Structure 1
Amino acid sequence: MDDLNPADPAGGDGATPRPRLEDVAARVGLSTASVSLVLRNAAGPSERTRRRVLRAAADLGYRPDRTASALASRRSRLLGVVVDIHSPFHAELVEHLHGAAEEVGYALVLSALTRTRAEGTAVETLLAFRCEALILLGSVSPAPVLAALGRQAPVISVGSRTAEADLDVVRTADDDGVGQIVDHLAGLGHRSIAYVEGGVGVIATDRSRGYRDAMRRHGLDEHIRVLHGDRTEAAGERAGRQLLGGGDLPTAVVAYNDQCAIGLLTALRRAGVEVPGAVSVVGYDDDALSRLACFDLTTVSQNAEEQARQAVAAAMERLERGRTEPREIVLAPTLVVRGTTALAR
């Protein structure tokens, strides 16, 4: 049976009992087993029966009790997602993850990273909800921690590579993405190209390496300049103020991500520096903010929709097909040229 949840008792305030599976069955004159097949979208009932059951469920306001169903089937059909609530790119990934999960009959449980809530805490919450697999967005946990986690549940790391843990990875080639940015800027005649790095973590390391390698490839070793930063707008503003107070401005600046780039744009424009007339600025991620006309930011797309689809597919291969060997899927990033880059001054 799909739903073992009894009606909620009416309390002293006269609350209406919650509709049960039995109520839907009585409305249409069918067994609870037949109604359960329809609500689980299982094979068997005719199309006419399906329409009758779904109409009755809607009229009664019936909603299946996922917890009761999970206890009965020993399956939660939940995918846990660790998400940084400050990241517009993560928000876009989550939107696509929802769609991909629903297509295969799973739902998402989100657990947030905040400035005071670490990844370990977020993961423990998902495990407590009996999530069958975990999707970590931009994980910064060390390989031994991820390896231990992978022994508790299938883990799919989105965005961040790891070679030391037997888990699945879905990412774009971050070093290549930053390399495309430097190629673009060098093609516009820029030589003095600075980079605002992203702090700690594998993603930040890969992007920094991509910047350095591309600068050397263009013979710009002596112009390599890396400023401390992180994933936030505040870091971009700090880097902008540092550049403004340091004498000659570079002709172009590459930021770790779009949020950092937007902070950099803010600092430059407040100081009256024209972008891209005096300084070209490039971000990374192609998040929703970068597409706004007020920013019109040149950036790199990571194809969030495809990453989400591949992440859910990897989870399904683990859960439904029993795959045990780890896989790494590396997608090609794409440069998106907008209005913040132009010929070097």
Structure 2
Amino acid sequence: MTPFDYRRAADQTEALSLAEGGRCRFLGGGTNLVDLMRQNIEAPAALVDVSRLPATIDVTSKGGLIIGATVRNSALAAHPVVRAQYPMLSRALLAGASAQIRNMATVGGNLLQRTRCSYFYDAAGSRCNKRDPGAGCDAIGGLSRNHAILGTSEHCIATLPSDMCVALAALDAIVHLDGPMGPRSVPLLDFHQLPGTTPHIETVLRPGELITAIAISPSAVAANSRYRKVRDRSSYAFALVSVAAGLDVADGRIRDVRIALGGVAAKPWRAVQAEDVLRGEAPTRENFLRAADVELAAAKPTEANAFKIELAKRTMAAVLGDLTGAGA
């Protein structure tokens, strides 16, 4: 591990001041960042510990949420309003990692966790454009069963491992930031970036910028929602495919719908085309599968992960079916 300075911030103002200038990273729970530092994949000159900043979950007058970035994943999953009004978010959090890691990991850190691609982690023996821009991508043509099928490029086919972010994408969450240029807000859907020609640039976060909170608005879709994660084993495994979905049905027709996919792209994949197909239609399994077909038409799998296309379609239809009683 490369030597680094360590500083603990007493409040947000001090955190931003300590991070000003230099190559610095903010430290919350450290469940991903510290591992990357131990393997010399991340080598910040300094860490600013923000774990002591207030960890608050505020419920707005209309039932929305303002979630502090230092809130632990386990605390958010257990919050009564989250469980009652945003069940897809609670289920997504509980599907991630282990109980011990959820007790340490923060909401802000969850947004910033990096891919679990084995080639990315193999700094000594594998080429990775995300780790070393311009080096090449050994996952393309290599072992790619767990890799992306949507939004890929010739430079990278890695996936984002977060479960929480998939639910937040379906909930139209807003990420609040603060930094040298002042506070700003970014839709969660725009926070992560697809690889394109610059897979090493994973988010729109600017140098010295700190995630301060995540905001979610209430809706009928959020209240009637599910999260399902398909993986190789029942716990402590990353998604092959996951689906966060919510439905608002009135008079036998889908009035509104939100769908996001995980395990299939370098960012939470909002299934906008599938949503467009379903609005105004009857909530039937046939319509769910038709919408899934439209969404997955753009998939570009490798030989090893082509199974994810059908898996994503069936999982999407199953989750929507659970919400409507239309069957799996």
Give the TM-score, by structure 1 length.
0.20
Structure number with greater CO (CA < 8 Å, separation at least 6) is 2
Which structure would you say has the larger Rg? Answer: 1
Give 1 or 2: higher strand fraction: 2
Q: What TM-score do you get using the length of structure 2 for normalisation?
A: 0.21
